[in-house]
Amino acid sequence: MLTIGVDIGGTKVAAGVVDDHGEIVEHTLRPTAADRPDVVAETVADVVRELSEGRRIEAVGVGAAGFVDETRSMVRFAPNLAWREEPLQKKISGLVGLPVVVENDANAMAWGETRFGAGRGQSHVACLTLGTGIGGGLVFDGALYRGRWGMGAELGHMQVLPGGRPCGCGNIGCWEQYASGQSLVKEARRIAEAEPERARTLLGLAGGKIEGEEVTEAARLGDEASLAAFASLADWLGQGMADMAAILDPGCFIVGGGVSRAADLFIDRAREAFAERLTGRGHRPLAEIRLAELGASAGVVGAADLARQR
């Protein structure tokens, strides 16, 4: 059975035809207009029509960055797209004439990794996507946990530091302000400004503006400020996972997203921080912390499989 998975981000739509083994048969990518909801729906319909040509497609799964309601049909709010109470499922289904399931994009990624990636064989999985912020998805007893209104697992918005940094969600001190790509850059900039002698390599690479790519490159060259920024990210990541384990007790954490491409610079320290800060440590099994395996295709694969299992 073939289904189509679509992953809608703030700047692009990625889509693919996926078989029941989680393999992508064909893939395509389109830019999208984040400020025009109707154009986004039309773009999704266009890629579905393109990928459907000459194939029997059973259903379409759409991963959307935002709060998806409990019926998996409406995007109530999206921070990086102009969706407000957007009936996305109805619009796309009407345009393509196929059954459509809408899911939060991090949930789709978590499902893809659990079914076909790093979480294979695990029944209790907490998935983290480290990018600009922190996305999350939970799979318990082999099913996605969505919460009462479909808006669960917004893990990046746990408050970890009262009175801390302001967050785009409207709160302060959220986890993603300390363990994400944007937090890595902020910490590196802070250290470079306060102690420029520790950031000579970073400042030389950045040429005036420090971004994540320069922080990663400088850290691999031994830059003290960049290594300290990664250490801070790792400590906060381990702390947050320990807090999650106290409540959720997953058997496995999966860490993905763009920041995970630099995992060699922080994942071991994050594992150590997790073990050191885990409640009941020494008297309970230690959850594994694995790196995601499916990369950028996880959301497409997961959305397609969720449509198959609708």
User: Three-state secondary structure along 129-179?
Assistant: EECCCEEEEEEECCEECCCCCCCCCCHHHCECCCCCCECCCCCECEHHHCC
- Listed residue (103, 66, 105) closest to 84, CA to CA: 66
What is the rounded distance in angstroms from the CA atom of residue 107 to the CA atom of residue 103?
7
Residue 130 and residue 259 in contact, taking contact as beta carbons nearer than 8 Å: yes
Tens digits of residue pLDDT in 140-184: 998 999 999 988 999 999 999 999 999 988 899 999 999 999 999
pLDDT of residue 288 exceeding 70: yes
What is the rounded distance in angstroms from the CA atom of residue 29 to the CA atom of residue 7?
10
* Over residues 207-228, mean pLDDT: 96
* Over residues 285-290, mean pLDDT: 96
What is the rounded distance in angstroms from the CA atom of residue 132 to the CA atom of residue 65?
13
Give residue 80's pLDDT.
67
Q: Is 16 buried (19+), middle (13-18) or exposed (0-12) by CB count in 10 A?
A: buried
Q: Which domains does the chain have, with CATH numbers?
A: 3-111+297-309 (3.30.420.40), 122-292 (3.30.420.40)
pTM of the model as a whole: 0.91
At a CB cut-off of 8 Å and minimum separation 6, what does 182 contact? 132, 133, 176
With cut-offs at 50, 70 and 90, classify the pLDDT of residue 136: very high
With cut-offs at 50, 70 and 90, classify the pLDDT of residue 298: very high
Tens digits of residue pLDDT in 245-256: 999 999 999 999
Residue 160 and residue 175 in contact, taking contact as beta carbons nearer than 8 Å: yes
Residue 5 and residue 22 in contact, taking contact as beta carbons nearer than 8 Å: no
The one-letter amino acid at 221: L
